[in-house]
A and B are shown apart, each in its own frame.
Chain A
Amino acid sequence: MKRSSHRLAALLILVFGSAACSSPGDNTEAANIIKFTDDLGRVVELSKRPERIISLAPNITEIVFFLGSGEKLIGVTSYCDWPPQAREIPRVGDFSHPSIERIVELSPDLVLTTSHEQDRWIGKLFSLGIPVYSVYPHDCEALLNSMENLLGLLGDTPAGLDSIRIMAEKLAKLGKTFHLEGNERPGVFIEISKSPLMTAGSSSFVSDLIERAGGRNIASGLPRDYCVINAERVIKSDPDIVFLFHGLSKKEELSRRIGWGSIGAVKKGRVYDDIDPDIVLRPGPRAVLGIKEIGERLREGN
């Protein structure tokens, strides 16, 4: 997917809300204006390449480092712990409650946010004249596009482009390695939380990883990224594999859950609690590792 560099005849768009007609990838670079459309369809305008960047989500931090611009990060959230260098960067709050004061204090050129959950902060930042760009990919394909766009915004570098290309190749290779036909795919239950019992629907990133690793998300009918699910549905769908992506339950616990003993995954002991949730829940460069980990476990039974 290439960045198209045609000029738009539009006037300077001063208000960042006029998103509707743009799609990610409609970008412009003119003499002093850099205009990009982010993942949520908003048009972001900068007068120069950003040198001082704040990331408001851990996956975005990982992506920025991955693209080689880690040293431009001047502020991150308290959950940003990867790569290890990220831990040295000053904190501006957490995912749900970034500190606007801290952000302003650091005078960034660009703030990177993720999903619509963070929208309310965006209004405040606009009104303070700080550009905001959202990165929100739903699956690996979209992740690659997002990274390309973001790299374009930050300034294409050979190293960055290489990283993306290599990742794309790895994803393709893994896809082939773990590919399975429809009826061979094991049913997978993704447990995001225990109380309430929550899973990831098919629009979520982790669901895409499962699919690429050869699995079939039993919760694919559910409408949102993360949903509360009734235990009955899980038991009825009789998954072959269960992944616990939260720290609160050990795999042994599942056999102690009343009614869960009849699930294929529990009977055969194919419950996995040893994948680091961050690798699979954060849409970012480690997705490759995530697919590999998931895929290996999916294959164990055979």
Chain B
Amino acid sequence: MKEIEEAGFSRTRSVRQLSAFFLLLVGVTILSLYTGPAGSELEIITKVRLPRILLGVIVGGTLAMSGAVFQGILRNPLADPYILGTSTGGALGAIIGLLIFSGSKMVSSIFIPLLAFAGSFLTTFLVYLLSRRGGRVPRETLLLSGVIIGTLFGAVIMFLMTWAEKELHEILYVLMGFLGIIWTGETVTTVVTVTVMVAAGSAIIYYHSRDLNLLSLGEEQAFSLGVDVERTKIILFFSASLITGAVVSVSGLIGFVGLIVPHIIRMALGSDNRVLIPASFLAGSSLLVVADTVARSVFLQEIPVGVVTAIFGAPFFIYLLRRERGPG
């Protein structure tokens, strides 16, 4: 027995574990397809539900995976895309777009996601610039800069909201996270673009998963084991930020997914990022699909999905914190 466990990374075991999560995702998706306010009769409902579920898969997976990456880079279990200001920057871009393009019709569906994407990219860049110390990016300053910029942009959003009148409801839904967008030709293009970006970013991140493992030893140690520490940190940081920005531009701010999912996966499967990263994606997808199913089915009026994740996420996170503290 000891021999088996003293075996390190096993591809077959990883594939088995990931397959389990994939099946979970498939199961959740099927259940969700049949759940909703309009019942399960019409094929047309699947035309409305299926795109929404796919969106949930992409958004949930991205948020969870980004959370795992940020927690790995910063070696801080409380890191997630929101703490680092990335998502807030994306939301700010989206809101600016909403206010500028509030009159025009089709233009907005192209420009708002672009602006959101630009917002999160610029925020990431700003946070990076702010936290550089002599050619390095120490994680403490990265975290601090992220929090500060995130708070600053949050304040700007609040300020902009005092100017908004007709757009208030829409802005609120951006801030609370909402997957129930109306799909038209342009929306499909936007979501496909986002998906391609997520795929590319995820591939880059996955390629670097072992580096994340080595980084957990400490940067000096990782360096001595052959990791190009600064370059890896930057690549990972930007990749995670960009895919987060991409999804925030279509779904708004959804919290707790990036924070909680990596923790759960770690408890279940361990901390090897080569498994943690893809498993987080799959679990995050499943979680958000479930949350969105709840959001659209429970009450007559739709709840923003960000509210559901917060309501269930916060107490669960408190529970996780207490568990970790208990035996230690």
Contacts and interface: CB of A to CB of B under 8 A. Distances in A.
Given A232-B37, A236-B42, A256-B185, A250 B300 contact: no
A258 B169 contact: no
Contacts, number: 91
B26 to A, nearest CB: 22
A229 B301 contact: yes
B301 A259 contact: no
B45 A224 contact: no
A95 B173 CA distance: 20
Name which of B51, B168, B184 has the most chain A CB atoms within 10 A of its CB: B184
Interface string B224-247: 000000000000000000000000
Interface in B155-197: 162, 165, 168-170, 173, 178, 180-185, 188
Nearest to B164: A96
Contact of A258 (B36, B168, B184): B184
Given A96-B165, A96-B168, A262 B301 contact: no
Nearest to B163: A97
Contact of B44 (A195, A227, A235, A248): A235
Contacts of A197: 180, 182
B232 to A, nearest CB: 39
A222 interface: yes
Contacts of A227: 300-301
A232 B45 contact: yes
Given A233-B37, A256-B184, A258-B47, 19 more contacts: A194-B182, A197-B180, A222-B300, A223-B300, A228-B302, A229-B301, A230-B302, A231-B182, A232-B38, A232-B49, A235-B38, A247-B103, A249-B105, A256-B185, A257-B182, A257-B183, A258-B183, A259-B45, A262-B42
Interface string B184-227: 11001000000000000000000000000000000000000000
A193 interface: yes
20 contacts: A94-B165, A95-B165, A97-B162, A193-B170, A195-B182, A196-B178, A198-B169, A224-B301, A228-B169, A228-B173, A229-B301, A229-B302, A230-B296, A232-B37, A232-B49, A236-B45, A247-B103, A247-B105, A253-B105, A256-B185
Nearest to A196: B173
A262 B38 contact: no
A221 interface: yes
Interface in B41-76: 42, 44-45, 47-49, 51
Contacts of B44: 235, 259, 262
Contact of B48 (A79, A228, A258): A258
B39 interface: yes
Interface of A: 79, 94-97, 193-198, 221-224, 227-233, 235-236, 247-250, 253, 256-259, 262
B184 A253 contact: yes
A156 to B, nearest CB: 35
Nearest to B47: A259
Contact of B169 (A193, A221, A232): A193
Interface in B5-45: 36-39, 42, 44-45
Q: Which 4 pairs from chain A and chain B are nearest by CB?
A: A232-B38, A236-B38, A259-B47, A258-B183
A231 B154 CA distance: 30
B170 A196 contact: yes
